[in-house]
Amino acid sequence: MAMFSQNPLMNGPNYSFNEAPRVNAPEGARQHRFDPYTDNGGSTLAIAGADFAIMAGDTRLTSGYSINSRYHPKVFKIGGTTADQKDATLVLSVVGFMADGEALKEKLDSICKMYRYRHGKAMSVEACARRLSIILYQKRFFPYYAYAILGGLDEQGKGAVYSYDPVGSYEREQCRAGGAAASLIMPFLDNQVNFKNQYEPGSGEGHALQERERRPLTRAEVEILVKDAFDGAVERHIEVGDGLQMMVVTATGIEEIYLPLKKD
Amino acid sequence: MDHRPQNWGRPRDDVYGAYDGSYLQSSGPKQATQSPIVTGTSVIALKFKDGVVMAADNLASYGSLARFTDVPRLRSFAETSVIGFGGDVSDMQYLNRHLTDLSIDEAYAAPSSTDTTTSPGAGTLNAANLHKYLQKLLYSRRNNFDPLWNQILVAGLDSSEAPFLASVDMRGTAFTSPSLATGFGAALAQPIMRRYAETDEQAAQLSREEAVKIIKECMKVLYYRDARSLDKYSLAVVTKAGVEISEDEQLEQQSWAFAERIKGYGTQTV
Amino acid sequence: MTSIGTGYDLANSIFSPDGRNFQVEYAVKAVENGGTSIGIRCKDGVVLAVEKVITSKLLKPGANKRIATIDRHLGVVYSGMVPDGRHFVDRARDEARGWRETFKTPIGTADLASRMGGYLQAHTLYQYVRPFGVTAIIAGYDSELETPVEGEVGKGPSVGAGGKVAGKKHGGPFLYMIEPSGLYWGYYGAATGKGRQSAKAELEKLDLAGGELSLEQAVKEAARIIYVAHDDNKDKEFELEMSWISGADGPTKGRHEEVPKAIREEAERLAKKALEGDDEEEEKKDDEKMEE
């Protein structure tokens, strides 16, 4: 070996390309890395009533400070047997990264359809809620970056709302706000739906204060509440606005309502 | 002199230093595209009464270098749709080849385009179908961390023969609007187009001539303010009658008189 | 069929002592029973036509196409075993796609004929395959225009030499016919299937080599020839299927497409009329003879 070593630098082992020294390792300043996620803004809201559930979302789609679209629905009927979903019984809302949100919607929709074809009946909201959790959890190492809310009527006919985090943790709730303006809307719902911090007038002071008794809200009340919540969110959050889409799930079917919101 | 055959023809390490093979990236995870290289700037499009107008300039930039000045970035699909590409040009060319193969496959079973009893492209993919296809393609590439670095506009007619315009980006985010613009156009052209067509109803009032005029005006504004743009551009109009693309449009009646008044970022007055 | 029972007809890859491959010859027999297919190469395009024998009244009229598109500018029709023809079409589409992938440009008609000729020939060599039971007619119009290389950057220099030869004509209409042996030739007019003899006789009358026949005339001739060729097979009903390819400035803009219904029906009307005319003439002659 030494007989060949006229070159002092060659005395060490000759490297293969695999062992090449990393002189200019690619950590340069202009390095552009692919980020698979974006936030498309917008907000969603769901409230369960005694015999109905309302799912709502604004229709603005943003990226950064740009409004991509003024009408891009976030609330979808799920598990109908036709393209227009006219016999659907469940509603899903998604907010966050819309490409993931819509992929999630299409996956859940096809699962609900398969269930319906196999069993000859629509999936119950309880079963669908569990299934959605599993879908999200199965992708926990590359999550669907979407905050989902599932709404429908439970097997007693009561309004049901299930809310999720992006990796599948879920619970049934009376009401839930999701997305950009969730932190603005949620305290409002706590106060107006669950009567938090509301007390009976003249019931006393301190620990003697009596909480206002909770009662189920009527559909008309809830519709007004939803509109008020979004009007407030539009005022204070730049990613919320343009239009309000509401799906009202009742025993007779799902009714869709569209109301304009401020476009600024 | 090093006589070992494995070193024949190699630069001498004592003169040039050890070879830096780090760029070969043969160890560690596979790296897909991490950034676009040769790029195209904005694509803009606007719906009107009977169809959609789309435009994009013919420049492919290499960073700040105006590298290729005759690269049309609009293409037609099956004489029914127009597709406009912003972003990486090599990915555009890949998609172009892919879409050509797709259109040939789709045409195997399609009826004759010379048959006047059927509308052109009947029985093949319409613009809405094509947009959904591209959305799925780009989203699956994103899921594999091998994105196609483009923002794409698709224009044509939907299944009810109403004007259709939609966008899809490198992450698979898809949306539709009466007017759409990619890149700088989203900031510069979109406000102008929305002035004329805020809603679909307003867009349905526009004539073809009005829509073309608005698009041309937007291309001029983009050329004034986008440093990676060119005054030679392509203009496409898609209607029920088919697709017309002109690839050698020239910006007319430019006035740079405003330029001498601009100081700093344009808001400065003294 | 003196060869039967000698054993030389049982497999490919074995010659008979007098230098024949009997499997290939039997494949030709399969072709000779199929519906007649023809192709006409004229001055500004190519026409393909096929006599589609109706095997059942339960089949939907106009469905189950027999002429296939290979690439935008290429079409194929075949006589013989339809499943073999379908596989021929699949393979041709793969070849055309592969050519586009490697060369970024559409495959030429001659190149496709060469590739498919090689493929059919390979099916005469091996023990474990049988030859194709079809004779296929390939029609194509190679673009006479400067075809953009797919994915090229820019349009190239707008002036000056781009490596082109001045005055040289590029592209044009082409027609090839490939037989089960893998043999293929370029033709002005090609016919195969049951009625090929009378079809060939009619094609020879057209002076196709003279380059005078137009595409529109060729469509009418093609329809007439299929009707003439069908005369040999008169007891069975048939449908006429036709496709055509013109240059970029012609009716199909360089694409292979089905002949529009209106034009086809007009051609069929003229074909029927021409046939009746012939019959009347023959009857007249017979009458004259009687009188003598």
CATH of the domain at A173: 3.60.20.10
Mean pLDDT of chain C: 89
How many domains are there within chain A?
1
Whether residue B145 lies within 8 A of chain A, CB to CB, comes out as yes
In Å, how far is C264's CA from the nearest CA of chain B?
11
Examine residue A9 and state whether it is found in any structural domain, yes or no. Answer: no
What pLDDT sits at residue C159?
54
Whether residue B194 lies within 8 A of chain A, CB to CB, comes out as no
Tokens of C289: 């003879």
Examine residue B31 and state whether it is found in any structural domain, yes or no. Answer: no
What pLDDT sits at residue A172?
98
Examine residue A225 and state whether it is found in any structural domain, yes or no. Answer: yes
Rounded Cα–Cα distance for residues C258 and C243 (Å): 4
Query: Using CB atoms, which chains have 3+ pairs under 8 A with B?
Result: A, C
What does the CA dihedral B238, B240, B242, B244 come to, rounded to 10 degrees? -30
- Is B5 within 8 Å of B21 (Cβ atoms)? no
A58: nearest Cα among A254, A242, A238, A231 = A242
Examine residue B8 and state whether it is found in any structural domain, yes or no. Answer: no
Examine residue A29 and state whether it is found in any structural domain, yes or no. Answer: no
SS percent in chain C: helix, strand, coil, step 5: 35, 20, 40
Which of B172-208 are b and which e, b meaning 16 or more Cβ less than 10 Å from the residue's Cβ? bbbbbbbbbbbbbbbbbbbebbbebbeeeeebeebee
Tokens of B126: 């319409």
Whether residue C95 lies within 8 A of chain B, CB to CB, comes out as no
Under an 8 A CB cutoff, do B115 and C255 touch? no
Who's near B153: CB < 8 A, 6+ residues apart? B43, B44, B45, B54, B83, B84, B86, B165, B166, B167, B180, B182
Instruction: Say how many C-beta atoms besides its own lie within 10 A of residue C91's C-beta.
Output: 16
Whether residue A209 lies within 8 A of chain B, CB to CB, comes out as no
- Whole domain around residue A216: which residue ranges? 43-259
Under an 8 A CB cutoff, do B26 and A68 touch? no
Tokens of A5: 């070593």
- Is B137 within 8 Å of B148 (Cβ atoms)? yes
Q: Is C219 helix (H, G, I), strand (E, B) or coil?
A: helix
Contacts of B24 in chain A (CB under 8 A): 17, 20
Verify B-A touch: 3 or more CB pairs within 8 A: yes
Tokens of B108: 């195997």
- Beta pairing partners, C256: C245
Residues in chain A, total: 264
Contacts of C258 in chain B (CB under 8 A): 111-112, 115
Q: How far is CA A69 from the centre of its chain?
A: 18
Under an 8 A CB cutoff, do C153 and B60 touch? yes
Rounded Cα–Cα distance for residues C19 and C8 (Å): 10
Examine residue B10 and state whether it is found in any structural domain, yes or no. Answer: no
Query: Using CB atoms, which chains have 3+ pairs under 8 A with A?
Result: B
Examine residue A2 and state whether it is found in any structural domain, yes or no. Answer: no
In Å, how far is B51's CA from the nearest CA of chain A?
19
Q: Which domains occur in chain C, in start order?
A: 22-291 (3.60.20.10)
In Å, how far is C48's CA from the nearest CA of chain B?
14
- Beta pairing partners, B156: B164
In Å, how far is B171's CA from the nearest CA of chain A?
6
Q: How far is CA B90 from the centre of its chain?
A: 12
Task: Name the residue with tokens 């030859």.
Answer: C131
Under an 8 A CB cutoff, do B27 and A61 touch? no
- Residue C47's pLDDT band (cuts 50, 70, 90): very high
Give, for all 270 residues of chain B, the pLDDT tens digit.
Answer: 667 787 787 787 788 888 777 776 555 666 666 789 999 999 999 999 999 999 999 999 999 999 999 999 999 998 899 999 999 999 999 999 999 999 999 888 765 555 555 554 556 899 999 999 999 999 999 999 999 999 999 999 999 999 999 999 999 999 999 999 999 999 999 999 999 999 999 999 999 999 999 999 999 999 999 999 999 999 999 999 999 999 999 999 999 988 887 777 767 776
Least CA distance to C102: which residue of chain B? B97
- Beta pairing partners, A78: A90
Residue C226 — left, alpha, or beta (φ > 0 → left; ψ -120 to 50 → alpha)? alpha
Who's near A3: CB < 8 A, 6+ residues apart? none
- % of chain A beyond a pLDDT of 70: 88
In Å, how far is A35's CA from the nearest CA of chain B?
9
Under an 8 A CB cutoff, do B93 and C151 touch? yes
Catalytic, B33? Answer yes
Tokens of A191: 């106060």
Q: What is the CATH number of the domain that holds B162?
A: 3.60.20.10
What pLDDT sits at residue C129?
94
Rounded Cα–Cα distance for residues A33 and B36 (Å): 10
* Helix boundaries (H) for chain C: 22-32, 82-103, 109-122, 196-204, 215-230, 261-291
Give, for all 264 residues of chain A, the pLDDT tens digit.
Answer: 444 444 444 444 444 444 444 445 444 444 457 899 999 999 999 999 999 999 999 999 999 999 999 999 999 999 999 989 999 999 999 999 999 999 999 999 999 999 999 999 999 999 999 999 999 999 999 999 999 999 999 999 999 999 999 999 999 999 999 999 999 999 999 999 999 999 999 888 888 899 999 999 999 999 999 999 999 999 999 999 999 999 999 999 999 999 999 999
Examine residue A12 and state whether it is found in any structural domain, yes or no. Answer: no
Under an 8 A CB cutoff, do A31 and B21 touch? no
Which contiguous run of DSSP H or E holds residue A58?
A: strand A53-58
In Å, how far is A120's CA from the nearest CA of chain B?
30
Examine residue B119 and state whether it is found in any structural domain, yes or no. Answer: yes
Residue from the list B6, B20, B175 with its beta carbon closest to the beta carbon of A14: B6
Residue from the list A7, A32, A37 with its beta carbon closest to the beta carbon of B13: A7
What pLDDT sits at residue C287?
59
- Give the β-pairing of C189-192 and A75-78: unpaired
C131: nearest Cα among C28, C257, C52 = C28
Examine residue A230 and state whether it is found in any structural domain, yes or no. Answer: yes
Contacts of C153 in chain B (CB under 8 A): 38, 60, 68, 71, 89, 93
Q: Is A133 helix (H, G, I), strand (E, B) or coil?
A: helix
Which residue among the candidates B33, B39, B199, B239 is catalytic per the annotation? B33
Whether residue B232 lies within 8 A of chain C, CB to CB, comes out as no
DSSP letter (8 states) at residue B206: -
Residues in chain B, total: 270
Average pLDDT estimate for C56-64: 91
Under an 8 A CB cutoff, do B108 and C72 touch? no
How many domains are there within chain B?
1
C31: nearest Cα among C71, C69, C88, C75 = C88
Residue from the list C153, C154, C260 with its beta carbon closest to the beta carbon of B112: C260
- Is A222 within 8 Å of A204 (Cβ atoms)? no
What pLDDT sits at residue A7?
45
Task: List C-alpha distances in Å: C165 to C152, C160, C177.
Answer: 21, 12, 30
- Whole domain around residue B223: which residue ranges? 42-250
- Strands, DSSP E only, in A143-234? 146-153, 159-164, 170-173, 175-179
Judging by beta carbons within 10 Å of its beta carbon (0-12, 13-18, 19+), is residue A62 exposed, middle or buried?
A: buried
Rounded Cα–Cα distance for residues B134 and B168 (Å): 7
C248 or B45, higher pLDDT: B45
What pLDDT sits at residue B114?
54
pLDDT of C50 strictly over 80: yes
Examine residue A129 and state whether it is found in any structural domain, yes or no. Answer: yes
Among B6, B37, B175, B194, the residue to mutate for chain A (most A Cβ within 10 A): B175
Task: Name the residue with tokens 């296809």.
Answer: B133
Tokens of C198: 């009378």
Tokens of A25: 């390792």
Contacts of B143 in chain A (CB under 8 A): 36, 142
Rounded Cα–Cα distance for residues B42 and A210 (Å): 62
Examine residue B19 and state whether it is found in any structural domain, yes or no. Answer: no
Least CA distance to B98: which residue of chain C? C101
Which tens digit of pLDDT belongs to each residue from A228-256? 999 999 999 999 999 999 999 999 999 99
Q: Is B48 helix (H, G, I), strand (E, B) or coil?
A: strand
Which of C123-161 are b and which e, b meaning 16 or more Cβ less than 10 Å from the residue's Cβ? bbeeeeebbbbbbbbbbbbbbeeeeeebeeeeeeeeeee
The interface predicted TM-score of the complex, written ipTM, equals: 0.85
Under an 8 A CB cutoff, do B117 and C261 touch? yes
Among C215, C243, C257, the residue to mutate for chain B (most B Cβ within 10 A): C257
